Amino acid sequence: MSEHGLHTHAPHEEALHAGDHGHGAGHSLNQWVAIFTALLAALGAVVSYQGNHLMNEVLLYKNEAVLKKTRATDQWNYYQAVSTKMHLMELAVDLSPPDKVGPFRKKISKYEQQKGDIKKAADQLEAESQAADEESARLNRPHNDMEIGMIFLQIAISLASITALTGRKWLFGAAILSALAGLGLWIAAMAVM
């Protein structure tokens, strides 16, 4: 301060004080960008968590579908083995004298019953596999929307960062549009879950 109570600031101090908002001035573009970026980062964390959780469910159902399909395949292999045994017994009936076919016919009857039970179990496992596969596909659609929404949120954060560096307001507008697209995709994904 000078002797007369007048104090002047250096140009770099003037620039610093111009951004000071304690004197009733509105928020600067950089402050809006900072708030916007912080909110997007928080929203992005939520979307990312939900997307990861949803992907885990997609994989869980896909694994369940594969497991059921494998069990169904095992049942169909067992069905073929029983069919082969039954055909051998039918061949034995054809080749044996009529008084010796009784035990073979009993085994044929037993194998026919087994084949029915095995087919029923295999069909049930096939249906369970199909249901798990369909649920996996159903959950994967909103997951994809969340992933694309997250990309738009990341683009918005990048555009906001460039806005802070360049001071170009139109970039901030583009960041807002990108954020709205990401938010819309996230909301759409949540609605179909």
User: pLDDT per residue over 77-132, tens digit each?
Assistant: 999 999 999 999 999 999 999 999 999 999 999 999 999 999 999 999 999 999 99
The string of pLDDT tens digits covering residues 145-180 is: 999 999 999 999 999 999 999 999 999 999 999 999
What pLDDT is recorded for position 193? 79
Please, what is the average pLDDT of the chain? 89
**Alpha-carbon distance values, 189 to 19, 62, 104, 150 (Å):** 41, 19, 61, 12
- Cα angle 75, 80, 85 (rounded to 5 degrees) comes to 125
- Residue-wise pLDDT for 29-38, tens only, equals 999 999 999 9
State the Cα–Cα distance between residues 65 and 177, nearest whole angstrom: 40
Tokens 């979307």 found at: 47
In this model, does residue 21 exceed pLDDT 80?
no
With 50 as the cut, is the pLDDT of residue 24 above it?
no
- Residue position matching structure tokens 């249906």: 127
The one-character DSSP state at 100 is: G
CA 159 from centroid of its chain's CA atoms: 26
